[in-house]
Structure 1
């Protein structure tokens, strides 16, 4: 089979969410947090970088661990988890990694933003310092979380911030929220009530000096969280929550972020880096919510946090984002899709696919892991958070060194987009668990073949069935049966088998 790349674009045992893509030289590098496979909390592992040649996005290489939490001077029992980072090349040619060393409970959002430095994009970074005021005090204005950095013709711009998925100005919340936020964000009630009348919640901007640490001025608010978004506006429906990322394409600054509904990456644009941002739309949702009007109850996969950004790679624009696995919010995998930036600067929402960075549809010849599905739904998929799990929903999971789709129940749909069909195609699947059938479709609801599944406690390959299809189409398998089945892989051939 020809060399191809799928979504997720890294190996199936790799969990690098919150991906910030950057082209340095002739390679694109991915900097993200690092989840544990089957973990019980976000970002449990040290930073691991990956890269690929800009002219071959099928050829990803692991650069190894580039920075360890214990290298940070703030590392302690209460602070061990490194959240979403970003990297920028400074004017001195070195590379600077911005991050939060956070902890569970009372130390998740109180900063500071720390910085590590390296002579190469993916070498061994060393702790450098913390973002600070000219007098050396750590800069902890607003909520120092999810830092993102760009070098704009020698100007170093930092964005950061956090929000809540609720209106803290609502009458029922006004009295109790300052006390709650004081504990969560480790700020006094006076700071929350008096020093930040515009709210500590929202997206913020500040310019850094040439030392890459010192702020030139006080940070400014560039996008509000839900509590201060204008009622009735489109922004109110897609207000800032987290995942700040700043990019510049042409003469427009693009601020990419995750909204308070959590599953989508949105964007706002401005001609200025520090003000004037206007909400423009959704780029991608990890449940395809909003794509062609799809509602949240009809999500095509379990949804949850989303974080990523846009990069221009070898003449094309791509959005990097992540999906969820294991029926929790804590094992996330990076995905990517090609996008188009129209002449007016707008971006139309794209759907999740299995072919992602491949540049073309997948071929109908070879073995495919079931876990590269872009759609996985039983018609009632959950939205997952750090307090909510989808215990009984189908999900991508693992046992030992095996990754597979787990807990298919009656009428669960598993989808792969897209394949280039050219007539007769043969397909067989490897499953275990309950007996039943796989209904094969290239359109939901239109069955073109049926694959009988035998009950088995071990992985078992089915008989091959054939179907006819022409052109670029999805490939769906819908499980019909009384029990639950697991799905390991499928094999396609264009000849008798």
Structure 2
């Protein structure tokens, strides 16, 4: 389900790669919870064989390992590729440093970093691609995308092939965050797209040649409304066990900095175009069962002030700062005619009413009265109109005080009780 990794890991800007051992590896930046800056001075690598259970392989590279970069610079948006027995980790840093380090393992650690010239100190967000004929390509840049062939050493660029404007912001909405894949003879550039006003979309362009020309295909996913302060998106697409997925990130904690990787299946039409998909709570897994307690922090979209925040114990998360008119979406839930609803919430002063909607059907309303503090949770119950099938669940918050925070929510359940403490 989404987010993809355990909640202690904030990994945006991801590249997903199936390596020779058959496992899928994630390479990305590493945000620090509650910090107010993008990324950090460390890169982690994660891997899986089922998209559900993930291994954290620990620190793969640290900025202190980069001898030619200035002290204190942060690591951004890596990519990794395997070639002739060696794994190459391409990375960038604040200051527009770009380089590559090597390892004999897809999990690292990566060592012997060297700069990529002329990309080093030119821009950010490297991406690498090896075509079916064995030729490697390197891409980088913001606002206008640069790219060229890599020489056989996988370190230096064949500048005779350099294209300094493969796509750009004016014609394609290209902001940053490039990734490249090939499917059925079509080359796909995925990138952060600013065409809708904020850099929240991952879009794609298509070509019959790695270095273009490319024609914009459309938006794959937009993370708008994942958090009040979301700003950017960055990811890739990858095929794993016969299914293609888009990997992207969402912000949390009412911040554009605390970002985490998410996943959605994607589908192609007969011409190779990709349909835009919505953000979901389920991700690559089946719909969430309404028969078990559901964390309120699994909301995939929120409006009017709501955001996901760490709980007081820092080991769980809550849906925080509900005000009058706020709503949260959970996509998708599988219902089997529940007749009751329980919600575990904290309300320091006002409380309010929670409306429970399945798609466009109002199932019921649950009254939440003041609990005495933001760290004091109680469970409240109400009857429901039964519904069956797979639906989007909406929790809509109502209250008499139009401006003040009404409640925070820890979890909710159908069919029975959830949570602890006194119940109304």
TM-score by length of 1: 0.77
Equivalent residue runs for 1:327-346 within 5 Å: 327-346=254-273
Match of 2:164 in 1: 221
Deviation, structure 1 residue 405? 1.8
Give the counterpart of 2:284 among 339, 357, 360. Answer: 357
Bigger shift: 423-432 or 92-101? 423-432
Pair 1:463–1:71, CA change in 2 (3 A): same
1:252 aligns with 2:186: yes
Pair 1:486–1:23, CA change in 2 (3 A): farther
1:282 aligns with 2:203: no
Q: Name the SS of the counterpart of 1:462 in structure 2.
A: strand
As a proportion of its length, which structure holds more strand? 2
Match of 1:57 in 2: 51
Match of 1:211 in 2: 153
Pair 1:367–1:62, CA change in 2 (3 A): farther
Contact 1:428 1:461 in 2 (8 A): no
Contact 2:318 2:408 in 1 (8 A): yes
Equivalent residue runs for 1:315-394 within 5 Å: 315-358=242-285, 360-378=286-304, 393-394=305-306
In 2, the alpha carbon distance for the partners of 1:71 and 1:496 equals 52
Structure 2 alignment gaps of length 5 or more: 419-424
Q: Residue deviations 1:151-193, cap 9 Å, x none?
A: 2232111111102xxxxxxxxxxxxxxxxxxxxxxxxxxxxxx
Deviation, structure 1 residue 401? 3.0
In 1, the alpha carbon distance for the partners of 2:115 and 2:417 equals 63
In 1, the alpha carbon distance for the partners of 2:189 and 2:61 equals 26
In 1, the alpha carbon distance for the partners of 2:10 and 2:411 equals 23
Q: Could you say what the CA RMSD is over the residues aligned between the two structures, in angstroms? A: 1.9
1:29 aligns with 2:21: no
1:157 aligns with 2:137: yes
Deviation, structure 1 residue 223? 3.1
Contact 2:180 2:190 in 1 (8 A): yes
Contact 2:342 2:416 in 1 (8 A): no
Match of 1:460 in 2: 377
1:265 aligns with 2:250: no
Deviation, structure 1 residue 471? 0.7
Aligned length: 401
Contact 1:21 1:310 in 2 (8 A): yes
Pair 1:36–1:425, CA change in 2 (3 A): farther
Contact 1:451 1:462 in 2 (8 A): no
Deviation, structure 1 residue 429? 1.6
Contact 2:300 2:330 in 1 (8 A): yes
Match of 1:82 in 2: 75
In 2, the alpha carbon distance for the partners of 1:438 and 1:18 equals 35
Give the counterpart of 1:94 among 74, 81, 86. Answer: 86
In 2, the alpha carbon distance for the partners of 1:208 and 1:423 equals 58
In 2, the alpha carbon distance for the partners of 1:23 and 1:463 equals 46
Match of 2:398 in 1: 480
1:41 aligns with 2:37: yes
Contact 1:73 1:127 in 2 (8 A): no
Contact 2:125 2:178 in 1 (8 A): yes
Deviation, structure 1 residue 365? 2.1
Pair 1:476–1:45, CA change in 2 (3 A): farther
Contact 1:13 1:403 in 2 (8 A): no
Q: Name the SS of the counterpart of 2:271 in structure 1.
A: coil
Deviation, structure 1 residue 337? 0.5
Q: Name the SS of the counterpart of 2:64 in structure 1.
A: helix
Contact 2:226 2:251 in 1 (8 A): no
In 1, the alpha carbon distance for the partners of 2:226 and 2:185 equals 36
Q: Residue deviations 1:78-135, cap 9 Å, x none?
A: x421011100112x22111111121xxxx3x3x3x11111111113111331113xxx
In 1, the alpha carbon distance for the partners of 2:282 and 2:276 equals 17
Contact 2:87 2:105 in 1 (8 A): yes
Q: Name the SS of the counterpart of 1:61 in structure 2.
A: strand
Contact 1:48 1:64 in 2 (8 A): yes
As a proportion of its length, which structure holds more helix? 1
Deviation, structure 1 residue 40? 0.9
Deviation, structure 1 residue 221? 3.2
Contact 1:222 1:275 in 2 (8 A): no
Match of 1:70 in 2: 64
Deviation, structure 1 residue 33? 0.3
Pair 1:424–1:418, CA change in 2 (3 A): same
In 2, the alpha carbon distance for the partners of 1:57 and 1:308 equals 16
In 2, the alpha carbon distance for the partners of 1:11 and 1:58 equals 10
Contact 2:192 2:234 in 1 (8 A): yes
Contact 1:364 1:425 in 2 (8 A): no
TM-score by length of 2: 0.90
